[in-house]
């Protein structure tokens, strides 16, 4: 009895285990599919592509031809770049000399190099320009450089400058005065730390505070604490956000390691919310940067703007994104997933209470940096008590201790206290309102001026964070930063991608900034860097073709012998075209015959008979074009590798003789009788083709060399493709 029941029991157990495994696999597959739908593929693709893209630098000549512009524009651009280089060189000689002196020893080349330039153009710009901003004083929103020039600053010190440099100078001085009796004592805390902590808890609406040496380190600490206290692995980030240098929290910016602990999802996408719901048990936190700072040539995603009119409504600026953040907040609440705001950049810039106040959304953890320390370096994490624990009370060996030697430096704490006292004053809220409204009015006025001047530039903003958009495609949009520098505008290391205004920008300063922006754009357009569709009809097609070739050329390192072989094939094609392809009607015949040949290449694998009959018809059309419409060109043909006119006639005669012989040997000339003969003729034509081509290759090997024989063979089989490309535009232009 037991022997009979044992197999049944094992079978049932196997079925049960198999069902469980199948269910688990099905669940994982479903989750993977949902995640894939929401994943931002561009960062992952870019990360992998970075391993294969090789350096490439334009020559001095190619620099001006990257968009395929014509010769008159090339000369205008050359004159423009020489003029721009002369202006900047004459205006900033001491800055340039300082840059030359420090370039070889200073590793952070943001200040001394052309890192804001696409890499194929960078070598040329380094050779012709020395971009180095060395400043010695500030006065309102203006900076004085080493050469004594005063420029208008829109870099904002990476986001530090919200209130105006004069206030920060005052706060730094008062903060130092307040703690100077203690000096740089670390470990024991100055009493001002308690006041700062209370102020930060009040502003953030959260339970606990920790101090760090920078905003980046604070983000790292927040991520670590979220993972430690939730015991989950994944941090959700959104494509385009920037969270510092650590690759664990910036999966789209340069990291090459395999990121198996971050989910980089699409911003403002319904599928991202669904992934958070379905994978809540694995997600330690959702990390959000309320201003997507590094989307190339794109406004903040919540900025609803009519670019064509250059007009926007300030009250609409945050509506779309605020709604998204509220939905994100609701999903995180529903799934018990912490929502983390990275306000290193946006905290205290958009409003006295930061992005939480501006968008009306409360986070579970908030990270501050930049301006909160009154001009001194700092990073701050505010969070709920359950997320801020460094120790596990149930497992004492589990520790997530995050420390930094200078994290509560007395001088930093003193300057921070001055700022926090100011930011909570009732009158400060009105200063923020006026600052944001002044920037919004400037954006509207500047866009009107740009539209009136027919310039392909627009400005969009969120609060006092603004960026320049380009409404026309160009390979040279990045050049605007150089023209702006020539007009006396100081930018941050990301160029025009992210600019900032501060409270000390007056209407007069904004008017000057608008004038400089319009003047820079006018000069750039006058120098031929922005060509309209009328001025450059094939603009987009040429740019696309150039980019494809460059990317492929950067990805694939072609051995020099293959490059030489390709060059020789293309030269032979060019010689052939010049020798006997000048008649427009003959070119049309070649377009038709080449198109048929291309189709026959594929058709031959399925139906050789139809392919050979169609191909022979195309061959006769092709040779009729030569025999009737083109001169014999015997002298030119003598220097080519291919057959001359006499040989072509004999070969075609042999093709014609094959069906004639079949007709003469046929018992009857009916369709039924000739149908088998059609297949036989096609096969004999195919064999004759192999004999002709193979014989020519063998002859060239014997009379010349193997390389030239292969050049002729590759040219022959690829002629249909290159003929279609070469003759179609030419025929259409002459038609």
Give the residue numbers spanning the domain of 600.
558-734
- The last residue of one of the domains, among 526, 546, 579, is 526
In this structure, what DSSP letter does residue 190 have? P
Q: Is residue 290 part of a domain?
A: yes
Q: Which H or E run includes 150?
A: strand 150-153
Helix (H, G, I), strand (E, B) or coil at 263: strand
Domain count, the chain: 3
Would you say residue 16 lies in a domain? Answer: no
d(CA 480, CA 514): 14
Of the candidates 401, 424, 447, which is a domain's last residue?
424
Q: Are residues 193 and 213 in the same domain?
A: yes
Could you tell me the CATH number of the domain that includes residue 491? 3.90.1150.10
Same domain, 347 and 375: yes
Give me the pLDDT at residue 579, please: 65
**Which two three-digit tokens encode residue 449?**
């001026």
Radius of gyration of the chain (CA): 35
In a domain, 722, yes or no: yes
Q: How far is CA 76 from CA 352, 430, 528, in A?
A: 49, 49, 6
Question: What's residue 557's pLDDT?
Answer: 62
Please provide the DSSP assignment of 29-88 as one string: HHHHHHHHHHB-HHHHHHHHHTTTPPP----TTGGGGTT---HHHHHHHHHHHHHHHHHH
User: Where is 287: in which H helix or E strand?
Assistant: strand 283-288
Q: Are residues 182 and 245 in the same domain?
A: yes
CA 514, CA 270: separation in Å to the nearest integer? 38
Q: Which of 394, 424, 454 is the last residue of a domain?
A: 424
What CATH number is given to the structural domain containing 291? 3.40.640.10
> Are 699 and 708 spatial neighbours (Cβ–Cβ below 8 Å)?
no
Residues making up the chain, counted from first to last: 735
Residue 327 and residue 179 share a domain: yes
Same-domain status, 273 and 399: yes
My answer on whether 612 and 709 are in the same domain is yes
Q: How high is the pLDDT of residue 504?
A: 95
* DSSP result, 504-539: T--HHHHHHHHHHHHHHHHHHHHTTSS--TTTSTTH
Angle at 471 between CA 469 and CA 473, to 5 degrees: 105
414 contact partners, CB below 8 Å, separation of at least 6: 174, 175, 176, 177, 178, 179, 190, 192
Helix (H) or strand (E) holding 500: strand 499-500
**Shared domain check, 268 and 403:** yes
d(CA 482, CA 463): 25
Quick check: is 56 in a domain? Answer: no
What's the rounded Cα separation, in Å, for the pair 34 and 14? 30
Enumerate helices (H) and strands (E) in the chain, giving the number of each: 23, 14
Helix (H, G, I), strand (E, B) or coil at 729: helix
Q: What is the predicted pLDDT for the residue at 303?
A: 42
CA 326 to each of CA 237, 323, 341, 621: distance values in angstroms, whole numbers, following the listed order: 17, 5, 13, 69
In the prediction, which pLDDT does 642 show?
65
Do 348 and 467 lie in a common domain? no
Token pair in block for residue 134: 């060395």
pLDDT, averaged per 10 consecutive residues of the chain (735 residues), comes to: 57 78 78 82 76 83 88 93 94 85 59 70 89 89 95 94 96 95 93 96 96 94 96 91 74 64 89 94 93 51 35 47 91 97 91 92 96 95 96 90 86 97 96 96 96 95 91 91 95 86 96 98 96 78 76 67 79 73 74 85 83 84 70 53 69 82 70 72 86 87 84 85 72 39
Task: Please check whether residue 1 lies inside any domain of the structure.
Answer: no
CB 381 within 8 A of CB 218: yes
**487 plus 612 within the same structural domain:** no
Please report whether residue 20 resides in a domain.
no
Look at residue 28 and tell me if it is in a domain: no
Residue 9 resides in a domain: no
The helix/strand/coil state of 396 is: coil
Please tell me whether residues 115 and 229 are part of one structural domain. no
Same domain, 411 and 327: yes
The dihedral through the CA atoms of 85, 90, 91, 93 has a sign that is positive
Are 441 and 482 found together in one domain?
Answer: yes
pLDDT for position 311: 33
- Residue 72: phi and psi, rounded to 5, are -60, -35
Q: For residue 391, what is the DSSP state?
A: B
How far from each other are the two terminal CA atoms of the chain, in whole angstroms? 93
């Amino acid at each position: 009895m037991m022997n009979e029941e044992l197999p049944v029991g094992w079978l049932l157990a196997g079925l049960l285990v198999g069902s469980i495994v199948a269910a688990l696999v099905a669940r994982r597959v479903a989750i993977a599919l949902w995640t894939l739908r929401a994943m931002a593929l561009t960062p992952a693709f870019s990360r992998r592509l970075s391993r294969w893209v090789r350096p490439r630098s334009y020559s001095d000549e190619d620099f001006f031809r990257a968009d395929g512009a014509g010769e008159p524009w090339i000369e205008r651009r050359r004159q423009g770049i020489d003029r721009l280089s002369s202006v900047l060189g004459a205006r900033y000689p001491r800055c340039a000399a300082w840059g030359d002196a420090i370039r070889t020893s200073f590793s952070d080349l943001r200040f001394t190099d052309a890192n804001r330039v696409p890499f194929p153009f960078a070598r040329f710009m380094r050779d012709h320009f020395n971009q180095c901003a060395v400043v010695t004083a500030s006065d309102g929103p203006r900076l004085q450089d080493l050469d004594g020039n005063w420029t208008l600053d829109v870099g904002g010190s990476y986001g530090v400058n919200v209130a105006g440099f004069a206030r920060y100078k005052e706060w730094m001085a008062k903060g130092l005065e307040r703690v100077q009796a203690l000096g740089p004592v670390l470990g024991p805390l100055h009493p001002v730390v308690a006041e700062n902590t209370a102020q930060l808890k009040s502003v953030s609406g959260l339970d606990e505070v920790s101090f760090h040496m920078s905003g980046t380190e604070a983000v790292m600490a927040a991520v670590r604490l979220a993972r430690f206290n939730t015991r989950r692995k994944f941090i959700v980030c959104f494509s385009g956000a920037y969270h510092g240098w650590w690759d664990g929290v910036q999966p789209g910016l340069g990291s090459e390691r395999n990121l198996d602990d971050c989910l980089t999802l699409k911003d403002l996408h319904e599928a991202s919310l669904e992934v958070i719901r379905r994978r809540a048990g694995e997600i330690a936190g959702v990390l959000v940067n309320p201003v997507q700072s590094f989307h190339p040539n794109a406004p903040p995603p919540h900025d609803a703007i009519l670019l064509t009119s250059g007009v926007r409504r300030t009250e609409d600026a945050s509506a779309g994104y605020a709604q998204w953040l509220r939905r994100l907040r609701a999903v995180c609440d529903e799934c018990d997933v912490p929502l983390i705001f990275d306000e290193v950049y946006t905290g205290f810039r958009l409003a006295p209470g930061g992005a939480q106040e501006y968008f009306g959304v409360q986070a579970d953890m908030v990270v501050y940096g930049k301006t909160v320390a009154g001009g001194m370096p700092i990073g701050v994490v505010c969070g709920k008590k359950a997320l801020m624990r460094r120790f596990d009370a149930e497992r004492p060996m589990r520790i997530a201790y995050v420390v930094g030697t200078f994290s509560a430096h007395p001088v930093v704490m003193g300057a921070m206290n001055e700022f926090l006292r100011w930011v909570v004053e009732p009158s400060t809220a009105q200063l923020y309102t006026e600052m944001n409204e002044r920037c919004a009015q400037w954006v509207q006025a500047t866009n009107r001026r740009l539209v009136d001047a027919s310039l392909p530039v627009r400005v969009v903003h969120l609060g006092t964070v603004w960026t320049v958009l380009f409404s026309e495609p160009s390979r040279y949009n990045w050049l605007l930063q150089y023209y702006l520098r020539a007009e006396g505008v100081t930018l941050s290391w990301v160029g025009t991608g992210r600019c900032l205004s501060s409270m000390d920008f007056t209407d007069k300063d904004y008017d000057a900034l608008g004038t400089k922006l319009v003047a820079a754009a006018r000069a750039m357009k006058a120098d031929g860097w922005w060509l309209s569709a009328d001025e450059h009809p094939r603009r987009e097609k040429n740019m696309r073709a150039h980019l494809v070739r460059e990317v492929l050329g950067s990805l694939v390192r072609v051995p020099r012998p293959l490059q030489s072989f390709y060059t020789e094939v293309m030269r032979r094609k060019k010689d052939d075209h010049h020798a006997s392809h000048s008649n427009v009607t003959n070119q049309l015949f070649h377009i038709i015959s080449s198109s048929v040949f291309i189709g026959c290449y594929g058709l031959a694998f399925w139906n050789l008979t139809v392919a050979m009959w169609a191909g022979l018809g195309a061959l006769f059309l092709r040779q009729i074009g030569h025999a009737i419409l083109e001169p014999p060109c015997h002298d030119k043909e003598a220097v080519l590798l291919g057959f001359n006119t006499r040989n072509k006639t004999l070969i075609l005669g042999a093709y014609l003789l094959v069906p004639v012989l079949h007709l003469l040997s046929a018992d009857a000339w009916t369709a039924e009788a000739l149908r088998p003969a059609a297949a036989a003729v096609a096969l004999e034509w195919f064999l004759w083709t192999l004999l002709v081509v193979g014989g020519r290759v063998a002859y060239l090997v014997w009379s010349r060399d193997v390389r030239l024989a292969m050049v002729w063979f590759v040219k022959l089989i690829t002629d249909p493709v290159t003929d279609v490309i070469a003759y179609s535009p030419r025929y259409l232009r002459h038609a």
